[in-house]
Amino acid sequence: MTAVTVITGGSRGIGAATARRLAAAGHHLAIGYHRDDAAAAAVVADIHRLGRRAVAVPADTTDPTQIDRLFTAAADLGPLTALVNNAGVTSPIGPFTALRPDDLRRVVDVNLIGYVLCAQQAAHRLTRGGAIVNISSAAATLGSPGEYIHYAAVKAATDTLTIGLAKELAPRGIRVNAVAPGIIRTDIHTDSGVPDRADTAAGRIPLGRAGEPDEVAGAVAWLLGPDATYTTGAVLRVAGGL
């Protein structure tokens, strides 16, 4: 069966690394992204160089119409075999009392509602052997006090989504897992107002350093690969011991 995977937020960071890794493993890819056309085009070019098919689709995952467009574009590559729910945002790091309602709503909208809507599209389209990987966060169990408790709470919801959906889709032979990264070197920390967080946080990570996007991509590729056929409902922590 040809692997055709939708990955949201595939233009940069963990999503881009995962798209490249999956292409190397034989997947054709539909890359969803928000605004960065150039970054998405660069990922597509790399996938083409690896001999796979790819399409980049600007698709805000909070908008059901745009999500539908992403999955319709993926269908042109062949029947869907996997979804990587990855598009996510943070908001400015700070105490809980300083959290602004708009930031809270955006984090819930993109990181939870977006994941649910994309998973629903995938659940309609996937057949036996299909799989979903949700990118969660180690924050889900750490709680992120003084940083972004609301983000951590939403990532915990991602884990619950993973567990419930794994059970609901198992009778159809569809697996659902999550990867929970720790602090990974991407642009997301700029959005939270601490661009050098990967370096400043190193001292509190047991392995003594932040992770790289490729190190998360490897976990996603394993969960979507032939060695994980009995793995479902798992949350695989890739967090350097955090």
Catalytic residues: 151
Of residues 142 and 173, the one with the C-beta less far from ligand NAP: 142
119 within 8 A of 134, measured Cβ to Cβ: yes
Token pair for residue 179?
Answer: 């990867």
Stretch that binds ligand NAP, among 121-129, 166-174, 176-184, 223-231 (CB under 6 A): 176-184
Site mask for ligand NAP (CB under 6 A), range 122-151, x = bound: -------------x-x--------------
Q: Does 159 bind ligand NAP (CB under 6 A)?
A: no
Residue 141 buriedness (CB in 10 A; 0-12 / 13-18 / 19+): middle
The amino acid sitting at 166 is A
Among 4, 6, 7, 14, binds ligand NAP (CB under 6 A): 14
Helices assigned H by DSSP within 25-148:
37-49, 64-75, 101-108, 114-125, 139-142
CA angle 119/123/124 to nearest 5° reads: 120
Which helix (H) or strand (E) segment is 208 a member of?
A: none
What is the nearest approach in angstroms of ligand NAP to the Cβ of residue 157?
A: 12
Stretch that binds ligand NAP, among 71-79, 97-105, 185-193, 228-236 (CB under 6 A): 185-193
Of residues 153 and 184, the one with the C-beta less far from ligand NAP: 184
Among 6, 118, 132, 188, binds ligand NAP (CB under 6 A): 188
Sign of the C-alpha dihedral, residues 26, 31, 36, 41? positive
| Residues contributing to the site for ligand NAP (CB under 6 A) | 8-9, 11-15, 32-36, 39, 60-62, 86-89, 110, 135, 137, 181, 183-184, 186-188
